[in-house]
Structure 1
Amino acid sequence: MKQFFYSLILLLVCHLAQSQDVIVTNEGDTIDCKITRITNEFIHFSVFDESGFLLIRSRLPKTQIQHYHQGEEQGTMDVVSSSPEIKEEDRFVITEFNPASFRLAVNTGYTYQFGGYEGWPDSYQQQLKSLWNLGADFHYFLSDNLGVGLKYNYIFTNAEEDFDPTIYPISTIRDERIRFSYAAISLMYRNFLYDDQVIQYFIAGGIVNYKTDGLVDGSKFYEEGDTFGLAIGVTYDFLFTENFGMGAGVEVNVAKLTEINTSRGPALVDFSLTRVDLTLGIRLYK
């Protein structure tokens, strides 16, 4: 399962060059664009400005196309070569692309925590550092590219180990649950790629709440604390319709606990909560 989430990150590096393709309609209109998909009935395409920002996103029936050029490939439709002259006002008009103002993402995925459990056996450390996450974020875009929003992540795992009392100061099973959450304000920048594809970069800052509890030698224990966390990340969305899609993302969150409350009282610590989240989820646009 973890390998599956690793493979999703490959989607984030598929930011291909926006090379120019050409479509010529039966009416003689030439469209400089990026052809994004060709089906049995339609040719889908996107038009970008000089800076690479997506201006429009549309499709044409093949019956309205005389020929097209896509990279090294050329195609010719079965049309009458002597099409009548069409008045300019009657020709095909491309609808302007209007990006959605609201974006809601709901995610799940795998989390790996760096450090924080030195001194325990490697097998137990891996249980503590390998977690699962659930999360959501909501953004409102002030412009075509820039948005602000809120995000929330919930991270959790369980760990259990039978320790050797000659090495560690406990003689039976240590069983614990780790739960921590991250609530933050986020700033997001999005860049439209091809037809129905968008990549978002974000930075966020907020509160990390950490808690672990369980049993050691049959006695209950707990540790908990709050700190500030800073996150940066990138997500890749693919829209199936104008309002619905799916996406994958990667996020790095940096945080450190310096003081915690425990079952034995307050304690000063140097405990890293730095982690990386690999996520997959649904996207809703409006």
Structure 2
Amino acid sequence: MIIFSGSKAMAQDLIVTNVGDSISCDIRKETRTEVHFSYLRYNQNIVRTLGKDRISAVVRGFYVNDSIRSAEINSVVPYKELQTNSSDQGMESTMSHDTATWTKWQAGIHVGYARRLFRSAISATDYERLYDQKLKPGISAGAEAFYFPWKSVGFGLRYDFYLNRAERDIKTHDKVNIQFLGLGVAHRKIFSNRSTSLLTSFLVGYQPYHNAARHIGQDYKLNANTMGWAVSVGLDHRISQKLAIGLSGSCMMGSIFKFRKTYKGHTEVVNLSHHEQEDLSRASVSLALKFVK
């Protein structure tokens, strides 16, 4: 089909899409991956961008003196005349995806596999090192929300929790829960297909630690609060106008130098030396479901 912009200019350019739509316009700029152009609609100059992966042909100066060079248009792409009363609908159909090249809001949930990055003590026995390996893997899940006042830069928050259950024998086990709630800044790179983006974020926040442990038959609870920071890199792909799926990798850092130990109703504060600190660092890989607007 061919779509007229309603412009009365002496010369107009022509863009033909992969689906056969023809756009009468004024090409402002052409890059390696995109074509920037404008057209008149309701006496307003509308500026749009179209990825070259959606374009089959570009002809500059195609429309001259309000006439169409029919021989050239047939050599570019087959078309059929568009009814006057449906020209605006055709333009909307062609440009509907490009009117929302980027979204301002995105929020979602994620779940995946996480692994703690602490090292066993130098003095640890082989038996203790083997148990440390059981303490590392766990489940990671949470939620996040970001607002993008600019196309590439945004701000938001993220909540994440890590769960691990490890048992050495009937007398010794650990049930570890590490949470993270932080604020941060994000950078977004939108690819030329307008549906895929790379999101990189840096966050700083609050990181509580809980462990319901049993050691040599004695049950006690360990609780601590500390600050932490996180880095996340993810690839998001929109599967509809308001829904996207994502795959991301994250790394969260933090350490505790003191904790509260509760045993038989009595709580005491235990201070740790630099060499005894509890390393909360962990890495995770997650799948996400996101809502965009």
Fold shared per TM-score above 0.5:
yes
1:1-286 maps to which residues of 2 (within 5 A)? 47=34, 55-56=49-50, 80-81=74-75, 94=95, 95-115=98-118, 117-118=120-121, 119=124, 121-162=128-169, 173-195=171-193, 196-263=195-262, 265-269=268-272, 270-286=277-293
Show CA shifts across 1:91-143 (max 9, x none). 96744444111101210011111116533623211111111111110011111
Task: Letter of the 2:247 partner, please give it.
Answer: A
Contact 2:227-2:254 within 8 A present in 1 as well: yes
Give me the whole-angstrom Cα distance separating, in 2, the residues matched to 1:113 and 1:84. 60
Unaligned runs of 5+ residues in structure 2 are: 1-15, 37-47, 59-72
Higher relative contact order structure (alpha carbons within 8 Å, sequence separation ≥ 6):
1
Cα gap change, 1:81 to 1:227, in 2 (>3 Å): same
Q: Return closer, same or farther for 1:160/1:192 CA change in 2, 3 Å cut-off.
A: same
Letter in 1 for 2:199: Q
What's the TM-score once normalised by structure 2's chain length? 0.66
Whether contact under 8 Å (2:106, 2:146) holds in the other structure is yes
5+ residue gaps, structure 1, are 1-21, 35-45, 68-78, 163-171
**CA deviation profile, 1:221-255 (whole Å, cap 9, x unmatched):** 11110111011121100111111111011111111
Asked if 1 retains the 8 angstrom alpha-carbon contact of 2:198 and 2:235, the reply is: yes
- For 2:79 and 2:245, locate their aligned partners in 1 and report how far apart those are by CA, in whole Å: 44
Structure 1: 4+ residue segments shifted above 4 A? 22-34, 54-60, 82-87, 89-95
Q: Quick one: which amino acid aligns to residue 109 of structure 2?
A: V
Secondary structure at the aligned position of 1:181 is classed as strand
- 8 Å CA contact 1:199–1:237 kept in 2: the answer is yes
Tell me, in whole angstroms, the C-alpha distance in 1 between the residues paired with 2:35 and 2:135.
47
The 1:26–1:246 alpha-carbon spacing in structure 2 relative to 1, beyond 3 Å, is: closer
Q: Given that residues 152 and 187 in structure 2 are in contact (C-alpha distance below 8 angstroms), is that contact kept between their aligned partners in structure 1?
A: yes
Q: Is the 8 A contact 2:234 2:247 kept in 1?
A: yes
Note the alpha carbon deviations across 1:179-223, whole angstroms, 9 max, x for none. Answer: 110000021110101421011110000011011113223321111
Residue 257 of structure 2: SS of its match in structure 1? Answer: strand
Deviation of 1:86 after TM superposition, in Å, equals: 8.9
* 8 A contact 1:185–1:204 mirrored in 2: yes
- AA partner of residue 115 (structure 2): Y
Please tell me whether the aligned partners of residues 116 and 273 of structure 1 are also in contact (alpha carbons under 8 angstroms).
no
User: 3-state SS of the aligned residue for 2:132?
Assistant: helix
C-alpha distance in 2, partners of 1:180/1:209? Answer: 6
For the structure 1 residues 136 and 27, does the alpha-carbon distance in structure 2 shift closer, same or farther, using more than 3 Å as the test? closer
Calculate the TM-score normalised by the size of structure 1: 0.67
Structure 1 SS opposite 2:150: coil
Superposition CA RMSD, Å? 3.7
Q: Which amino acid aligns with 2:138?
A: L
Q: 1:48 to 1:160 in 2, by over 3 A?
A: farther
Partner Cα separation in structure 1 for residue 178 and residue 253 of structure 2 = 14
Relative to structure 1, the CA distance from residue 190 to residue 48 in structure 2 (aligned partners, 3 Å threshold; closer, same or farther) is: farther
* Distance (whole Å) between structure 2 residues aligned to residue 241 and residue 150 of structure 1: 24
Separation in structure 2 between the aligned mates of residue 113 and residue 182 of structure 1, nearest angstrom: 14
Q: Which has the larger radius of gyration?
A: 2
Count residues in correspondence. 226
In 1, distance between residues paired with 2:229 and 2:104? 25
Q: Percent identity, please.
A: 15
Supply the AA of the counterpart residue of 2:113.
Y
